Amino acid sequence: MWWCGGLNLIFNKKIMSNYLDTTKDVYKEAALTPDVGLCCTTTPVWQLPGLKIPSKMLQMNYGCGSTVNPRDLVNDPTILYVGVGGGMELLQFSYFSRRKAAVIGLDVVDEMIAACAENLKEAEEQNNWFNSEFIDLRKGDALQLPIADSSVDVAAQNCLFNIFTKSDLKKALSEMYRVLKPQGRLILSDPTAEQKMPDSLVNDERLRALCLSGALPLQEYIDLITSVGFGTVEIRAKRPYRILDPSQYQTKERIYIESVEVCAIKDPMPSDGPCVFTGKAAIYFGGESCFDDKKGHVLLPNQPLAVCDKTAGAIASLGRQDIFISESTWHYDGGGCC
Ligand SMILES: C[S@@+](CC[C@H](N)C(=O)[O-])C[C@H]1O[C@@H](n2cnc3c(N)ncnc32)[C@H](O)[C@@H]1O
């Protein structure tokens, strides 16, 4: 019935505007009063020569991992960072790209932008290499980036995308894909959960905004990333994050949440599907000089070759007794096949 669709649309719009309002309220509060531990994980904060992070910036570290990796940051890249928090990762990125507006920082919460600007001024006083003009800090929504197509080398978000509903997450990923140059890299850090999150938690706007109940299973998260076009995905880290226990949350079973760091590369999509690296390696230990799968993968005796899950599966399906395929380490940031 036509009116059912209409009502659904109105209902969905209402839920969406509520969750966006709640997110803004939560982060307005977190900008005005630093909330140490809001999203914290076991990830250590980068120590780099000559880098000093102001204490308020550290207190406002609302990330659930790190998106800064020197491997992505060679050749003075232009970097887009969405959802700035206290600005710690803006400062860390800027360490690698020291020129005016090399790092663009966007956020939708005015109070967060103001707090971040203040922290960057403090960072300027503590770091003689840093000039806050290196960062172009402004208002902008992850769902509609005010950024030109194919204009940035690296795009990053830390602990923001999990807040979005699945359709908004897809929109946010498509926006990141649009603004990246070919071969550009999107670095993400978000909570994931393998157990089904009860609807009572999924629909709890405040828990979503606090990065607790929007977590998807990792495969679903990867599928959304590849569905917008990213041809290569690297799972760089997977760490314990939170427990949602029935004694504190509306859930029948205890839910274990992890946080992941992922790099998605704007490579062309291979005809047989994306290359997703989860840290597997193939080791040939037969008597020949090598094993060649005739698809570009040559295994030298007893030398591990990092392979994507697709290649790992193809080699395993050959049923050879002289090739070992290791389990996923969930720690991969370059090298190997494809
Ligand atoms: C969990 S905090 C993470 C902050 C920062 N990335 C960090 O690692 O410390 C989420 C950030 O995203 C911002 N935010 C929320 N919704 C947004 C949106 N639609 N577009 C851009 N930023 C948003 C919040 O104001 C907040 O700064």
pLDDT at 193 over 50: yes
- Residue 107 Cβ inside 6 Å of ligand 1? The answer reads yes
- Residue 39 Cβ inside 6 Å of ligand 1? The answer reads yes
Q: How far is the CA of 64 from the centre of ligand 1 (A)?
A: 12
Which pLDDT does position 168 carry in this prediction? Answer: 97
Q: How far is the CA of 40 from the centre of ligand 1 (A)?
A: 14
Residue 246, C-beta contacts closer than 8 angstroms, at least 6 positions apart: 252, 253, 254
Which pLDDT does position 17 carry in this prediction? Answer: 64
pLDDT at 12 over 70: no
- Taking CA atoms only, the protein residue closest to ligand 1 atom 14 is 83
Q: What is the pLDDT of residues 171-185, one digit of tens each?
A: 999 999 999 999 999
**Which residue from 27, 41, 90 has its CB within 8 A of the most atoms of ligand 1, so it is best to mutate?**
27
- Residue 142 Cβ inside 6 Å of ligand 1? The answer reads yes
Q: How far is the CA of 84 from the centre of ligand 1 (A)?
A: 6
Threshold 0.85, pTM exceeds: yes
Q: How far is the CA of 249 from the centre of ligand 1 (A)?
A: 24
Q: What is the pLDDT of residues 280-302, one digit of tens each?
A: 999 999 999 999 999 999 999 99
- Residue 83 Cβ inside 6 Å of ligand 1? The answer reads yes
Q: How far is the CA of 306 from the centre of ligand 1 (A)?
A: 34
C-beta contacts of 129-134 below 8 A and 24+ residues apart: 129/50, 129/95, 129/98, 130/91, 130/94, 130/95, 130/98, 131/98, 131/100, 133/100, 133/101, 134/94, 134/97, 134/98, 134/99, 134/100, 134/101, 134/102, 134/103
- Residue 209 Cβ inside 6 Å of ligand 1? The answer reads no
The residue ranking higher by pLDDT, 105 or 12, is 105
**Which residue from 107, 175, 186 has its CB within 8 A of the most atoms of ligand 1, so it is best to mutate?**
107
Which pLDDT does position 1 carry in this prediction? Answer: 37
Which pLDDT does position 57 carry in this prediction? Answer: 97
**Which residue from 119, 160, 257 has its CB within 8 A of the most atoms of ligand 1, so it is best to mutate?**
160
Residue 60, C-beta contacts closer than 8 angstroms, at least 6 positions apart: 30, 31, 34, 85, 86, 87, 88, 115, 119
